[in-house]
């Protein structure tokens, strides 16, 4: 299993950039975690849109789902042109109806599900500490390889517990240590490091990065709390799990 960084900006996309979107590939299965602004443009640097099996949305802030409706239209057009046979599977919080698009996209809700599968991948979710209903997402393949993507969240004690099976943690790092506690519902690089250390993952990717300051400093901030590998999210980088 591997994950490719499609979008890693917080709040809004930088020039030619994208907000939250991470392509998880496991054998033939291709799933996008979040579908932020600019993401389906950048996704096409890696796969054709018709190849995507599913999308899992962490929460309904625009920087995490802004391109979803465009992706639904792309799916319809690819189906009309007979490029795509199966509907796109879309999971998210809330109601199924808002994720379903005619017969082209099959919406599903997290509600009432301990886990769900798309292709060879199993997904579990954990309710975060954020301004609206938002989830961390755990992805496990049939070989037991496991990653967690936090979506958006403030630090909470159950988060490292949720991440214990994972070797890779993709954690939001929206602010610097000097801002800790100022931006409710988001973590600093240091707090992401605390989650990584407590959970025992091997590798931490810092993402959902701010547009100001020196983001390289966040790596040092995370390393003050975490002894494993710390990587700053970079467009188009692919990390093996
Ligand atoms: Zn958010
Ligand atoms: Zn966000």
User: How many whole angstroms from 182 Cα to the centroid of ligand 2?
Assistant: 16
For the chain, the C-alpha Rg in angstroms (whole number) is 17
Distance CA 147, CA 77 (A): 32
Confidence of residue 48 (pLDDT cuts 50, 70, 90): very high
User: How many whole angstroms from 229 Cα to the centroid of ligand 1?
Assistant: 26
Alpha carbon separation from 81 to 46, 50, 76, 77, 177 (Å, rounded): 21, 11, 9, 6, 50
User: How many whole angstroms from 66 Cα to the centroid of ligand 2?
Assistant: 11
Distance CA 202, CA 76 (A): 40
For residue 100, the model assigns a pLDDT of 96
Ligand nearest to the CA of 172: 2
Question: What is the mean predicted confidence (pLDDT) over 114-142?
Answer: 97
Ligand nearest to the CA of 184: 1
At which residue do the structure tokens 């240590």 appear?
A: 177
Q: What percent of the chain has pLDDT over 70?
A: 100
Confidence of residue 97 (pLDDT cuts 50, 70, 90): confident
Name the residue range of residue 163's domain: 2-240
Confidence of residue 96 (pLDDT cuts 50, 70, 90): confident
User: How many whole angstroms from 134 Cα to the centroid of ligand 2?
Assistant: 10
Question: What is the mean predicted confidence (pLDDT) over 82-89?
Answer: 97
Alpha carbon separation from 34 to 7, 61, 149, 173 (Å, rounded): 9, 10, 10, 16
Q: How many domains does the structure of the chain reveal?
A: 1
User: How many whole angstroms from 80 Cα to the centroid of ligand 1?
Assistant: 34
The enclosing domain of 128 has a CATH number of 3.60.15.10
- Tally Cβ neighbours within 10 Å of residue 41: 16
The tens digit of pLDDT for each residue in 173-227 reads: 999 999 998 999 999 999 999 999 999 999 999 999 999 999 999 999 999 999 9
Ligand nearest to the CA of 207: 2
Confidence of residue 111 (pLDDT cuts 50, 70, 90): confident
Residues, CB-to-ion distance under 5 Å, ligand 2: 63, 152
Ligand nearest to the CA of 135: 1
* Nearest residue to 207 (alpha-carbon basis) of 40, 6, 10, 2: 10
User: How many whole angstroms from 81 Cα to the centroid of ligand 2?
Assistant: 34
């Amino acid at each position: 299993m591997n994950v490719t960084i499609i979008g890693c900006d917080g709040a809004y996309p930088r020039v030619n950039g994208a907000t939250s979107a991470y392509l998880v590939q496991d054998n033939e299965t291709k799933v996008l975690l979040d579908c932020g602004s600019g993401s389906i443009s950048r996704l096409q640097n890696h796969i054709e849109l018709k190849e995507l099996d599913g999308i899992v949305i962490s929460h309904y802030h625009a920087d995490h789902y802004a391109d979803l409706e465009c992706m639904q239209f792309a799916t319809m057009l690819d189906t009309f042109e007979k490029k795509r046979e199966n509907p796109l599977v879309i999971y998210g919080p809330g109601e199924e109806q808002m994720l379903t698009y005619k017969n082209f996209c099959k919406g599903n809700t997290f509600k009432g599900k301990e886990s769900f599968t798309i292709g060879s991948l199993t997904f579990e979710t954990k309710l975060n500490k954020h301004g609206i209903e938002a989830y961390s997402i755990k992805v496990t393949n049939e070989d037991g390889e496991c990653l967690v993507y936090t979506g958006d969240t403030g630090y909470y004690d159950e988060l490292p517990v949720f991440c214990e099976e994972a070797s890779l943690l993709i954690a939001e790092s929206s602010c610097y240590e000097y801002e800790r506690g100022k931006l409710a519902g988001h973590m600093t690089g240091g707090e992401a490091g605390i989650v990584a250390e407590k959970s025992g993952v091997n590798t931490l990717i810092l993402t959902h990065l701010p547009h100001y300051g020196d983001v390289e400093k966040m790596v040092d901030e995370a390393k003050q709390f975490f002894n494993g590998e710390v990587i700053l999210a970079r467009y188009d980088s692919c990390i093996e799990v």
